[in-house]
Structure 1
């Protein structure tokens, strides 16, 4: 069951990053030049492969307790940030993330940029926009795969989760050539935030020398406990907002509960 939790956590986290990267590439290709957008994407993937080839083995040489303590703390930071945003969106205090709007903003920015190429790249702006989006989001995917895989001693499962996530998002995105607006990204971010926070708590405590009852099986209790606490906070904030009438208008779609 722990293997399944690892797979789902990596899959969901990587899917969120893949959606954001694909939105940028589609905006660059649609509004500027598809050839340059693909060149930027390929260049970013090659740069990512080189980065992982250098840093991946180095991470594996770090003592396990130190790795779990550091990674656990980082996951807590990232997880709590995602969870906070998801709670604020679910309660109505923050607007829901709209991938269609993000796509439109990227297209508008790309359309207004200067036209020009360098060397074999016909449109430098499309190239750099795609490169930046794929490389930065890809770094987060690589971080998730390397740290989760090494901590759980199951890199193949982490890699499989990432590959499935990226493949599904890319195939769906290219099939419609539009942002994946129907993907419940806010709900996914809520689930990922809960999982990252749970793994962060688990690994940070282990790295500090604590022993969890049931070892890895403790995650089966930690994950739902964190999710239920977050849902409780969402519900309480929503009731407060409805009572006071404060904040932005409540969203009509994509709520977390």
Structure 2
């Protein structure tokens, strides 16, 4: 994998997680209490930093073959989940993910929650909501950075991709004080799902002892093949969905005889 491919893969994947975390923090701050939302965000970042500091170095102690097998399997799990959702949404079997709708739902839930603080935190709900969102999405960002960076022996480039993604998303989000509804997240998830699935196949195969023809150059075939397969499934399912809807409409329409 080239440096540019590593950078943009990490950037895309981390941008998706950053958009989701930002939506939660904005909902907590807008509907409840900005101070408590900021406290929850900072607490989550500190906890995340401590977690990565403790567990991060341990990844480097795992033998490379075993690491690639485990990481490849995990990437396949994440990648196939994202790709499945993207295919289902693209075919119409699942509603498109809407950050604006997600923001509205978080906002409504936050407004409905009971008020109350603990210690220096004036609004405990806003604090915990922000903490949960930032910490969980941050863990996924850390996982992406550590696994991709360590496998390619280029942690700095992976970190740079994650930092650029997070700063870009946070800057844009707080500049407009609204969820990044204009970001084509479903397209991003399709691309990221394709990349994670492809790298998962590649690394799991290497970890299991397989030798890919052309080594890293095999990714130039694997990535387009996975993308084309997903697009093919999306097309087939979209046609099936259209056929089912047409059949349902025909069955529910009144016949000419019943109108007389």
Q: What interval of TM-score do these two structures reach, taking the shorter chain for normalisation?
A: over 0.9
Alignment correspondent of 2:215: 215
Correspondence 1:119-130 to 2 at 5 A: 119-130=119-130
Contact map agreement 1:2 1:217 (CA 8 A) in 2: no
Written as runs of structure 1 = structure 2, the 5 A alignment for 1:1-257 is 2-245=2-245
Give the Cα separation in 1 of the matches to 2:3 and 2:219. 11
CA distance in 1, matches of 2:188, 2:113: 33
SS at match of 1:160: helix
Which contiguous aligned blocks of 4+ residues in structure 1 show a shift greater than 2 angstroms?
none
Deviation at 1:247, TM superposition (A): 11
Structure 1 unaligned spans of 5+: 249-257
RMSD: 1.4
The 2-side partners of 1:194 and 1:182 are apart by 22
Measured in 2, the distance between the counterparts of 1:59 and 1:46 equals: 20
Greater Rg by CA: 2
| Matches of 2:60 and 2:54, distance apart in 1 | 11
Quote the offset at 1:242 in angstroms.
1.4
Tell me the TM-score normalised to structure 2 length.
0.93
Shift, 1:246, TM fit: 7.0
| Residues 142-161 of structure 1, C-alpha deviations (whole Å, 9 max, x = no match) | 00000111111111111111
Tell me the distance in 1 between the aligned counterparts of 2:74 and 2:15. 20
Give TM-score scaled by structure 1 length: 0.94
Equivalent pairs counted in the alignment come to 248
User: For each residue in 1:8-58, what CA deviation from the matched residue of structure 2 results, as whole angstroms up to 9, or x when unmatched?
Assistant: 111111111000000000000000000110010000000010000001100
